[in-house]
Every structure is written in C-alpha cells, then in structure tokens.
Amino acid sequence: MLENLEYLRKKPESVRRKYALFGSIFITVVILFIWVSTFSIDIKRAPSLIQKNHDPEERYGSLASVYFNIKKGVSETISFIKKSF
C-alpha cells in the first residue's frame, strides 16, 4: 500500500488529480448503488399511491407553483444585483 502511494506521489499533479477524480466517482457510484438497492416497493401499497394522484391539475398545480416561485425569486435576485451595480 505504501509503495502505491509513493508511486502515485512521483506522478505529475494532473495524473494525481485524474486518480482522485476517478476514485471519487467510483466511491460515489458504489454508495449510490447501495442506496438504490435498499429501496423496496410494497406492491400492495403501490395501487393506492397511484390512485391518490388521479387529478392531473392537482398533481401538477403544486409543482408548477413551486417552479414559478423559484423563477420569481431568481428574477428578483437578478434585478436586485443589476440595480446594485
């Protein structure tokens, strides 16, 4: 293990950064895989969840309002920044 670290220390910084990037991506994928594999679907409960949201206007209305509130907040922030300069 120490030999591998010494070998890596002798490499240029760009190579070390690539090793770090790919290592972090690998660890992230492993954690994501474990996290997704822990989900369980309760088949008896699934139909009731689907039937709850049968009204499309009700389902998408709240999502649209959240989107427009975020858009309004960002627009106000940009306007404030423009006025400041």
Share the mean pLDDT of the chain.
77
Within 10 angstroms of residue 81's Cβ, the number of other Cβ atoms is: 9
As a whole number, mean pLDDT of residues 22-47 equals 79
Residue 14 and residue 20 in contact, taking contact as beta carbons nearer than 8 Å: no
As a whole number, mean pLDDT of residues 7-19 equals 90
Tally the C-alpha atoms within 13 A of residue 50's C-alpha that lie toward its C-beta.
Answer: 7
As a whole number, mean pLDDT of residues 1-25 equals 89
How confident is the model at residue 9, as a pLDDT? Answer: 87
What whole-number distance in Å separates Cα of residue 82 and Cα of residue 75? 11
